[in-house]
Structure 1
Amino acid sequence: MPDFLRLFAGPLTALLLVALHNSPALAQLEFEQAPIHYGKAPTHDPVMRLQEQLEKGEVKLDYDEQRGYLPALLQHLGIETSSQVLVYSKTSFQLRRIAPRHPRALYFNDESYVGWVQQGDMVEVMTTDPEQGEIFYTLSQEPAEVPRFTRDSGRCILCHASSRTQRVPGGLVRSVFADDAGQPQFSSGTFNIDHRSPFTDRWGGWYVTGTHGKMRHMGNVTSKNRRDPEAIDREAGANVTDLSELFDVSPYLTPHSDIVALMVLEHQTQMQNFITLASYENRSTAHYDGIMNEALDRPADHVSDTSKRRVAAAGEKLLAYLLFAEEFPLTSPIQGTSTFARDFQAKGPRDSKGRSLRDLDLQTRMFKYPCSYLIYSPAFDALPPTVKSYVTERLLAILEGQDESRTFAHLTTDDRKAILDILRETKPDLWK
């Protein structure tokens, strides 16, 4: 409870909390306060687990003279080098070291994201705590007997907790009009991109390797005209499979910035944000209901109509994104240049017919079975019971064909049946 509210008691406190609970100001969740305590609550994310192992001497991070701790960190976090994507816009923490001639490299798996720049002072890490969402760390590139991750104290969430991330601490993929130095031309606007984004708005300021037919994106090129930054040569950046003519690729772990990896990255970051939003909303509404119930002498398990609406709204957002509502249709086949697609699909799990929610389509849409693989994630499993029950019950109704709304009209009868069959076999506790 905010300090000033502690000056009041009983029904007056309740009335004030009602006002706050229904206030538009809560569109920006107060995640530093109760019940979330984002910056203070203990975390149980992959980086914290690795730190504990380092301090106990159970593992060691080997130091590479050229890339510092990067290779060892990827190994211990279970991140494939084929996930590498390269961004040359100056839109991140070590921006002074980033430019089209020496882009920043990003690597990721389902839970963690690692950023590396040439001759950088640190490696940047974003990783997922099942309850708190995305947590941000840095790791100094100075060799140490026991390397130590430093948790961000608030700088990262200035950008990573905004309307672009559903107003919770999260990840985002931005597309910008970048000049020859990598400087974004913000006067021309930027795009927050995910699987719903038009292809023409994607990957400005990023390198992209792969083929995509007649579709065009913003990657691999820069803005040449200061008076007209949007006049970029999309044709020159299309269907690029070799980056070696654009910059020296030898310092990087691979020569690729795979288009399939980029598509998965942009889907995944926003999917995680919707999971975090649903968790935060449920926990926040339960917290305020608890205070109200005590103040108004109501049953402890009473759930207000406002809370029900807020949980349902967050649940519907999660469901729509989970099931790829409003996904931008592909009009040409997509093919990457690295082993990322193979590596990603190999992680399963698969049903008795060999089907997986990780199976890629890349002909007319991203996935063969349009339901996000993050339904298997620890973060989804850790959703509070109320919102998790709401989401799973609604999901079952949708997949059984009981929901004929426009939101899910893109799902054919075959889509729904396949997804339902896969989930019943590979996640049998989902509807228990």
Structure 2
Amino acid sequence: MADLPPPDYARNIRLIGHSDQGGRPDALQVMVHRGFAYVAHPWSRGFSIVDVRDPKNPGATVYVPSPPNTWTIHLQTHEDLLLVIHARDLFADSAFAVDEKVYYTRSVGETVGTASGGTKARNWSAGMAIYDISKPTEPRQIGFFPIEGVGVHRIWYVGGRYAYVSALIDGYSDYIFVIVDLADPTKPVETGRWWIPGMHTAGGETPSWEGRRYALHHALVAGDTAYACWRDGGLTILDIADKSAPKLIAYRNWSPPFGGGTHSPLPLPARNLLVVADEAVLDHEEDGRKHTFLFDIREPSNPVSIATLPTPAEADYTAKGGHFGPHNLHENRPGSFQSDTLIFATWQNAGIRVFDIADPYQPKETGALVPAAPQRMVDARQNRPRVIQSADLFVDANGIIYATDYNAGLSIMEYGG
């Protein structure tokens, strides 16, 4: 086993393995499936498959490039299927390349000119690619769900007939909720869609917000309910029993006074709880302190915020550089580690955090690990600081944590709780 980069900070979590992902150390979403980590690259374009059957000694990496000018930054695995988003590489676009604030604070549809309905000839791939991964290191594309527009941002798929995607379609101001029927995965078709009123600009709707970004990041589904996070547009709870006509159950937006960026939902149906993380999107907390909220959802039409997860405080992370605050949550997927009381989260420049919410009114941090700074920077954005920006994580059925970073490779950890 190669020497591991010593963490900047660790408490009750230890680093046991690391992979540079075949020399492409940048990654966003990660899925661990049948002993292989599927990692999606934001800067290297494409995705890689890393052999992690021995997590202390990650093995060979297989790289699958994306089409030209195309993001493939999010993906999902279940049984023999791999679903991968295709969207315009927005950070390569001149409108976003200089100042990341543009991406996080303005409607993408307006910025790149798709909100009015129709776009110039695309030089990128837009939609969702579907692969057969019955041979894990030999993915074979078998289907594609096309989008007329910027493309798909994120997917929720845990088996069954339907996938749930956020899609920026021509004529909408930003990403909306779309249900995709995978009865035949070689021929996926749209079943239904839902958006916050004001987003369908080509349909004559006018946004009631200005200087903010109402856009579906993604939704998680439990039963016939979808819990959806809309960045500055807050949270919606949707009834999706009728897949052709989602219906609003509840809508909450706490921005303002909070700084927006509502990003990651995690329903815990057995306890009638919902965890919701607001993403920190600007350096030095310029967008304000971001929190992860706990909601009581015993009455789905009236979700009530009852607590926030503790903010890491053992160092001055605000001054450290980069983004400090919540990003992604481990999502209790089938086949992964599942818990109603332990929450695993990425906190960007504060690394990986574990929280015990056995008492939901008094959540406690029970573990933390802040990986070392990247050895080299591959982030294509200008003037980014060389600090860890833990992006996503996955906890396998054995309790092993796999965490990605924009530059620092795949960190593999063991929680001591």
Q: TM-score, length-normalised on structure 1? A: 0.29
Structure with higher helix content: 1
TM-score, length basis structure 2: 0.30
- Structure number having the greater strand percentage: 2
